[in-house]
Structure 1
Amino acid sequence: MPDTALISAGAGFAAGVAITLALVIARRIARASRELGSDADRAAYTTLHIAGLAAQALRGGRRSTGSVRAARHLRTLLGAEAVAIVVGEEAHVSSASAERETEAGAALEAEALRFARRVEQSGRRQVSARTGVEGLEAVGAPIAIEGEPWGTLIAFDRSVRAPLVRAATEAAEWCAGQLAISALEASRSALAEAELRALRAQISPHFIYNALTAIASFISTDPPRARELVLEFADFTRYSFRRQGEFTTLADELGSIRSYLELEQARFGDRLRVRLQIAPETLTAVIPFLSVQPLVENAVRHGLEKGERGGTVRISSADDGTHTEITVEDDGAGADPESLARLLGDTAPMQHVGLRNVDTRLRQLYGDGSGLVVETNVGAGTLVRMRIPRSQPLHEVERVETREDADRTNGGGGAR
């Protein structure tokens, strides 16, 4: 009897533990369900996720692999039997049942091309209850970017009803929007490259002539100094004409500026004085390539070059936690404050293309409020300030080969 009671008590305890565990598990499941949201929330998340994948694929433009992936994701979104994106004479098809290599897949491609011609000729959405593929109906809508035809989106299904017609039309317009964004990004990249070419063109024959003349003046009187200036000239041109990357570090930019100032001081001697106040923590800051150097060149060329007494160029940087602030100041001729707007505007004279170019690039990259701040007055010099965000995870920096790197590559025989 005692044994029976003990067994009963043990069974009751085990049952209690099981019930408790079940309650805990049920509570965790319920909590997880609440965290994931309602069925509508989960459906919205899934839709957005698939749309994001389709957008990423579309950004590849006319490349067939991107269009095929986009068609696959759009088929999932539309719930259709098959979806085709037709561009020119190519049909990129995704089907739930037919692969491209099969006879059914080839028939779908042929029908997509035929139906796309019908949509292109009309310039409007088309619906067909009878297609060249047995058992499938179709709806096709044009994809146009700024009014120009780009391609056609076609959805095939067993029965094309009003919801699929509306969804396919909206999907075609969505595709057009994504492609327009992709085209805009490509245009911005091309513009950035053109602006860099304009800055490189600023390295004028006048500067090259003056630099080489200064080097030549030391050949007979101070050969070691002449050799050093040749190396500075090589470093300056190597950096200025490099092809990789739209971004650099402040340290690399300052290295090129040092070479430039060495060459200019060889011309001006004691008339050109340079003061640096660089916070060490700012040296790793990511900045647009050729953004500080044009400011220094502007200070020398337009602030000091014409004056007989010369002057001082001050370059400073500081970190305020969220931004790196860089300033370039000279005590040269200055300018009329009323001309400042024209200086950075479309009517600025060509000799100020460097300032205007840097200002435009900063605004494009970081917003309209991130352009250059210029303080100047006649006879009071000029101060130019820029503020660069410290956090720029999307901007990659290509490392620039230094003279020390070249020396190591050549076995350490570089002249110093």
Structure 2
Amino acid sequence: MAAWAWLGRRHLGTGADRTTFRTLHTASLTTPALRGGLTTASAEKAVRHLRSLLGAPAIALTDTTDLLAWDGRFSHHGDQTGPLARQVVESGATTVRQRAALPCQDPSCGLRQVIVTPLTVEERVVGTLQVFAGSASAGLVRAADEVARWVSGQLELAELDASRTRLMEAEVRALRAQISPHFVYNSLTAIASFVRTDPERARELLLEFADFTRYSFRRHGEFTTLAEELGSIEQYLVLEQARFGDRLDVTLRIAPEVLPVVVPFLSLQPLVENAVRHGLAGKDGQGRISITAVDHDFEAVISVEDDGLGEDPERVRRALAGDTTTDSVGLGNVDERLRSTFGDDYGLVVETAPGAGTKVTVRVPKYAPGVHA
């Protein structure tokens, strides 16, 4: 028993080791809140842990003008945090304010100094960390600067996350805008042609059209499941088959195991639309499109292949590089979103040549951290 107890104490390391562990653990507790940006809610969750890091009697977090959260003693000084923040926002530098700048009617208050240090995102002051103490030692000032620098780093990451989300949303809006007006017009024309001759089919096509547009213009989530994306593609193809009739032959081979895999929203539908528009619309006779999704170890491999007119590889290369003058619907957009989500190993692979048809292959991991529908 004694030997076990000795080994247990040794495993905990030295006093310095334990202090380091506690500091890192306390810092980690603030991370989820700060990664939400500097708001009242995030500040209220983080402020207690930040005070523990600094060992100060009280701290406050502010935006550029107002108090967001307070923890510790001296809360009657809360109304002074706004003016203190505004002064530091103007100077952009850490300052130490003396008691004379902190009027107080409580003779037993004990507050003597406050350290006010800026929180910055991309060299722009977005708020302040304020440390209220009986004495602002040089060590406490340095510690406040370091903690503020760490908080600023977390806020920078939050801004990057928000920018990435805004970019994703903008790219999806761009894809929605590229859904061909001709497709909408042709679908409605095809539906209208069946109203008199086959009312039941006209009704079914109208429901398919409604479901397709509802999915394409939904407002929630940047990700979806492969099952949902393929369901929308099937609706799109039903509408195109109503237009092309027997000229359009579609084959789907989908492994059930990959249906729950998560993919970026509207990442496959543009590939199928390209196959119809560029592969078949200008071709004489019947055209074939094959869509497959197979289970391959830790990945799902999806391909969209047509036997249409094919493309100039250089033109495709420019489309993947983001050249908007090409007529390939969203290829660069889809490629960029796949790479941003899963890494550079997961971009589009396009095999094509004039007169040889086109095959586009997409690989996605079955699981990726932070990616969920």
Partner of 1:20: none
Q: Distance in 2 between matches of 1:377 and 1:311?
A: 16
TM-score by length of 2: 0.91
Query: Is the 8 Å Cα contact of residues 113 and 134 (structure 2) preserved in structure 1?
Result: yes
Query: Is the 8 Å Cα contact of residues 60 and 70 (structure 2) preserved in structure 1?
Result: yes
Q: Distance in 2 between matches of 1:235 and 1:53?
A: 44
Task: Decide which of 64, 67, 75 is 1:105's aligned counterpart.
Answer: 75
Partner of 2:3: 27
Partner of 2:262: 286
Residue 366 (str. 1) matches residue 342 (str. 2): yes
Q: Distance in 2 between matches of 1:95 and 1:380?
A: 69
Residue 356 (str. 1) matches residue 338 (str. 2): no
Aligned length: 366
C-alpha displacement at 1:334, in angstroms? Answer: 0.9
Deviates more, 1:228-237 or 1:125-134: 125-134
Q: Distance in 1 between matches of 2:150 and 2:177?
A: 41
Task: Decide which of 124, 149, 155 is 2:93's aligned counterpart.
Answer: 124
Residues 68, 354 of structure 1: CA spacing in aligned structure 2 closer, same or farther, 3 A cutoff? Answer: same
Query: Is the 8 Å Cα contact of residues 332 and 381 (structure 1) preserved in structure 2?
Result: yes
Q: Distance in 2 between matches of 1:59 and 1:343?
A: 34
Query: Is the 8 Å Cα contact of residues 322 and 333 (structure 2) preserved in structure 1?
Result: no
C-alpha displacement at 1:83, in angstroms? Answer: 1.2
Residues 253, 116 of structure 1: CA spacing in aligned structure 2 closer, same or farther, 3 A cutoff? Answer: closer
C-alpha displacement at 1:272, in angstroms? Answer: 0.9
Task: Decide which of 359, 362, 366 is 1:383's aligned counterpart.
Answer: 359
Partner of 2:107: none
Partner of 1:229: 205
Query: Is the 8 Å Cα contact of residues 64 and 89 (structure 2) preserved in structure 1?
Result: no
Partner of 1:68: 44
C-alpha displacement at 1:212, in angstroms? Answer: 1.3
Structural mapping, 1:40-51, within 5 Å: 40-51=16-27
Residues 117, 196 of structure 1: CA spacing in aligned structure 2 closer, same or farther, 3 A cutoff? Answer: closer
Structure 2 unmatched runs, 5+? 105-109
CA radius of gyration, larger in: 1
Structural mapping, 1:100-249, within 5 Å: 104-106=74-76, 108-131=77-100, 132=102, 134-249=110-225
Query: Is the 8 Å Cα contact of residues 316 and 328 (structure 1) preserved in structure 2?
Result: yes
C-alpha displacement at 1:393, in angstroms? Answer: 5.3
Query: Is the 8 Å Cα contact of residues 81 and 156 (structure 1) preserved in structure 2?
Result: yes
Q: Distance in 2 between matches of 1:93 and 1:225?
A: 61
Q: Distance in 1 between matches of 2:176 and 2:249?
A: 25
C-alpha displacement at 1:118, in angstroms? Answer: 3.6
Query: Is the 8 Å Cα contact of residues 342 and 368 (structure 2) preserved in structure 1?
Result: no
Query: Is the 8 Å Cα contact of residues 129 and 160 (structure 1) preserved in structure 2?
Result: no
Deviates more, 1:284-293 or 1:135-144: 135-144
Query: Is the 8 Å Cα contact of residues 222 and 264 (structure 2) preserved in structure 1?
Result: yes
Residues 234, 94 of structure 1: CA spacing in aligned structure 2 closer, same or farther, 3 A cutoff? Answer: closer
Residue 335 (str. 1) matches residue 308 (str. 2): no
Residue 33 of structure 2 aligns to which amino acid in structure 1? Answer: A
Partner of 1:79: 55
Q: Secondary structure at the match of 2:330?
A: helix
C-alpha displacement at 1:383, in angstroms? Answer: 0.7
Residue 277 (str. 1) matches residue 246 (str. 2): no
Deviates more, 1:37-46 or 1:305-314: 37-46
Residues 127, 315 of structure 1: CA spacing in aligned structure 2 closer, same or farther, 3 A cutoff? Answer: same
Partner of 1:55: 31
Q: Secondary structure at the match of 1:84?
A: strand
Deviation per residue, 1:145-166 (Å, 9 max, x gap): 1121211212122222221111
Segments of 4+ moved more than 4 angstroms: none
Residue 319 (str. 1) matches residue 295 (str. 2): yes
Query: Is the 8 Å Cα contact of residues 61 and 68 (structure 2) preserved in structure 1?
Result: yes
Deviates more, 1:32-41 or 1:308-317: 32-41
Deviates more, 1:364-373 or 1:343-352: 343-352
Deviation per residue, 1:13-40 (Å, 9 max, x gap): xxxxxxxxxxx2x233223334433333
Q: Secondary structure at the match of 2:59?
A: strand
Residues 33, 287 of structure 1: CA spacing in aligned structure 2 closer, same or farther, 3 A cutoff? Answer: same
Query: Is the 8 Å Cα contact of residues 310 and 352 (structure 2) preserved in structure 1?
Result: yes
Q: Secondary structure at the match of 2:146?
A: helix
Q: Secondary structure at the match of 1:248?
A: strand
Residue 354 of structure 1 aligns to which amino acid in structure 2? Answer: G
Q: Distance in 2 between matches of 1:59 and 1:222?
A: 56
Q: Distance in 2 between matches of 1:138 and 1:338?
A: 63
Residues 177, 225 of structure 1: CA spacing in aligned structure 2 closer, same or farther, 3 A cutoff? Answer: same
Q: Distance in 2 between matches of 1:135 and 1:279?
A: 68
Deviation per residue, 1:119-144 (Å, 9 max, x gap): 33432121245452644222222122
Residue 335 of structure 1 aligns to which amino acid in structure 2? Answer: E
CA-based RMSD: 2.0
Q: Distance in 2 between matches of 1:114 and 1:232?
A: 60
Residues 119, 226 of structure 1: CA spacing in aligned structure 2 closer, same or farther, 3 A cutoff? Answer: closer
Partner of 1:297: 273
Query: Is the 8 Å Cα contact of residues 245 and 396 (structure 1) preserved in structure 2?
Result: no
TM-score by length of 1: 0.82
Structure 1 unmatched runs, 5+? 1-23, 99-103, 398-416
Q: Distance in 1 between matches of 2:15 and 2:46?
A: 25
